[in-house]
Structure 1
């Protein structure tokens, strides 16, 4: 089962852009490019942190490595 997290960027707590929810589940997301796919090098493309809103399911993508995830006990 997915773990619920709160997300922070510095002192700013991240909330969902759609429903203003504060709980997310995290997933790594590959940012594939056409050129890298064509050359069979998609594995080398950049990875983003995907935060999926626990309430509405909207997916937020972050490439900033300073994002901090804090697990929430439910």
Structure 2
């Protein structure tokens, strides 16, 4: 099970653009290009951090290396 995180770039905390939630689960997402896939070089494509809103499931993508993730303890209830 994915661990909940909060995220920020510099002093700006990330919020879901759909529901304004501030807790996410994260995963690496490949930014595939058709040219690289055609040449069997998909492994060389750039990747981004996908933040999946814990509340509504909306996905935000960040290629900014300044994105910082902070672990969160979710309520058990």
SS of equivalent to 2:8: strand
1:66, distance to aligned residue in structure 2 (A): 0.3
Q: Secondary structure at the match of 2:69?
A: strand
**1:33 paired residue number:** 33
Residues 1-49 of structure 1: per-residue CA shift (max 9 Å, x gap): 1100000010000000000000000000000000000000000000000
Q: Which runs of 5+ in 2 are unaligned?
A: none
C-alpha separation between the residues in 1 aligned to 2:2 and 2:36? 31
SS class of match (1:40): coil
Q: How many residues align?
A: 74
2 CA distance for matches of 1:44 and 1:30?
A: 9
Secondary structure of 2:49's counterpart equals strand
TM-score, scaled to structure 2: 0.95
* 4+ residue runs over 4 A deviation: none
Partner of 1:71: 71
User: What does residue 58 of structure 1 align with?
Assistant: 58
In structure 2, the partner of 1:22 is: 22
